[in-house]
Amino acid sequence: MANTVQSKKRARQVVRRTEINKARRSRIRTYLRKVEEAIASGDSDAAKAALQAAQPELMRGVTKGVYHKNTASRKMSRLAARVKAVGAN
């Protein structure tokens, strides 16, 4: 349990920050799910559009500290490869 004034303040701040990060992570997952659904439907144009929309959201998560840079890059790379495969078929 927090005892000092500073530790009590940090505890309050982390609760607020956790809510914000949870909302950001949820928003990013929504964009990624839209890409997954477009890939599953086999619609190449929709998949490309969804990927274009998801990329800035994912990178924004990196700048806000929700995701690590390499994690976001890996996710984008794998999604891009799958979208490209949909277009090839």
Per-residue pLDDT 10s for the chain (89 aa) are 778 999 999 999 999 999 999 999 999 999 999 999 999 999 999 999 999 999 999 999 999 999 999 999 999 999 999 999 997 76
Q: At a CB cut-off of 8 Å and minimum separation 6, what does 75 contact?
A: 32, 58
Residue 47, CA distances (Å) to 12, 24, 72, 78 in order: 41, 22, 18, 13
Residue 36 burial (CB count, 10 A): 15
Q: What is the pLDDT of residue 89?
A: 66
Structural domain count, the chain: 1
Q: What is the pLDDT of residue 1?
A: 76
CATH of the domain at 62: 1.20.58.110
Q: At a CB cut-off of 8 Å and minimum separation 6, what does 44 contact?
A: 83, 86, 87
Domain residues for the domain of 21 are: 5-88
Residue 12's identity, in one-letter code, is R
